Amino acid sequence: MRRPLSEPELYRLSRDRGLLARLAVIVASGFVVLAFFCSLSAPRTAVEAIDSQLGVSQDSVATNEEVLGALRRTLLKLRGRVEQWDIEAFRTNVIEPRIEDPGVQALFLAYSRAALLPATETALDLEFLQSEAREIPRVRFANELLGDLAKWEGNVELALEHYRIEAEFPDAEYVRSEIMTHLIDEGDRDALVRLMKDPTYELDHHQYWLKLGVILKDPGFIFRGIVLHDYGDLPFVVWFITIPVTFVWFWILKKICFVPLRTYKPLILGGIGVLLGVASTTATLFAVVWQEHIWGFELNGEMMNDFLVYVLGVGVREETIKLLFLLPLVPWLYKSRDPKTILLAASCVGLGFAAQENIGYFHRYGGTLSRFITANFFHITLTGTLGFAFCRFLYTPRSEWNRFLATYIIVILVHGAYDFIGTHPEGGFFAIVLFCFSAFFFFDLVEKHCTANRQTISPLSVFVIGCSVIFGCALVATAATTPSFHTALSQSGNELLGMIPLMFLYINRFRNA
């Protein structure tokens, strides 16, 4: 049996760039194989897509409402791609195994045909749905299905008429949410207030609460909508890639700030800083909604206006709120007067903010590795730099107030300008310049104020292996939801190639640590 590696061997191996490169390739290759097998289970047909959305096997029980919800989402994706729809497979694999009532089976089949096929081929289906909708007592789902079809054809008034009839059923939550959404979009304050007194009209989506809060100027509704937006109904794959990204950066920060492993206080303060940074996003989103929708301070396409919005809106609110959420840690940081602890804690507030942002970005857009390399470290550097300047100001306010004020203004300008330039395709080079400026300033701050000590595992090894793990997690998550493994590999590979130049910025700084 091979003896465990000694500390000198680990020290040498964790700085061997050739070995690290080979390990990164091996780790990434393992994830590629895992992603290939995950892609085999990704939904490829409309029937598989419905089963995937229901999250249960064919033999499992799902309510009629759940089957209809999955069917509705699938039909919206398939409109215009009828060749991917097999009505007989749908009947035998989804409808008949899941729905016992023959009448509901017939309704859903007619609805599917009317949604996807040309009107000339679905006259009988529409006639059947309309006859069922006129029945007394009311037939469950008939008016809801006709409302969907009318909405998809652009006839909103007819859709609302059918939805209001269907809303008489106690379990018709979908149609009530559609009615509420329409009133919110129309800004009908009086009708919304009347509906909110009806206990059957329950809001279960963050957009309803946010829009309603804006219309009524109710901070409580806005806050509730933000919490639902941040933490409601997130798929497992989002956490699968968010947690490793956060952990890798936390470990790198611990390394570059030279915090010894057995020194628990800085690590505890850093962990609390991450949680405070996560919480700061809720306050930031509240400020976003209030600034943009209550005050009207929002983007309009004009260059000067948009620049001011990014600087005085995005830059001011994000950096100020992150600094405010650092304040709970300030008594301990002030008492310790340890630059390592201050830089780690302040940077971790930025990391927590980035981690919460990652959840939304990964869920909607992907771009895992690119955010790990750019946006995550950008928040870390800005908050770490500003938090450190603030703590120095507290120690010697008379001599440091001007340095803190200058740092605060520069951080806001860099943040706002970076976001503004990032919205213009031709501004990519200048965005990278601003990113590198903030990164190098932060690295120099760390080198100047954090006394180096011997570390067995190097920051370089954590970064290189961490990048390969994050690339792999992102690839697996993409492959699990994309029918084509080639497409998933191509998307992740292109993202990796685009990030290689910036990776060398970190490798350059970490290789001698």
- Could you tell me where in the chain the CATH 1.25.40 domains are found? 46-231
pLDDT for 315: 93
pLDDT for 62: 66
pLDDT for 79: 67
Query: What is the rounded CA–CA span in Å between residue 224 and residue 206?
Result: 7
Orientation angle between helical segments 173-186 and 142-152, nearest 10 degrees: 40
pLDDT for 58: 46
Computed from CA positions of residues 256, 257, 261, 265, in that sequence, does the dihedral angle turn out positive or negative? negative
Q: Are 383 and 346 in contact (CB under 8 A)?
A: yes
Architecture of domain 46-231: Alpha Horseshoe (1.25)
Query: What is the rounded CA–CA span in Å between residue 490 and residue 181?
Result: 38
Going by the DSSP 8-state scheme, the letter that residue 337 receives in this structure is: -
pLDDT for 282: 86
pLDDT for 378: 94
Residues lower than pLDDT 50 in the chain: 1, 46-47, 53-59
Orientation angle between helical segments 485-510 and 459-481, nearest 10 degrees: 170
Copy the structure tokens of residue 479.
């492959």
For residue 233, the number of C-alpha atoms closer than 13 Å in the C-beta half-sphere is 8
pLDDT for 204: 59
pLDDT in tens, 462-501: 999 999 999 888 888 888 776 677 878 888 888 888 888 8
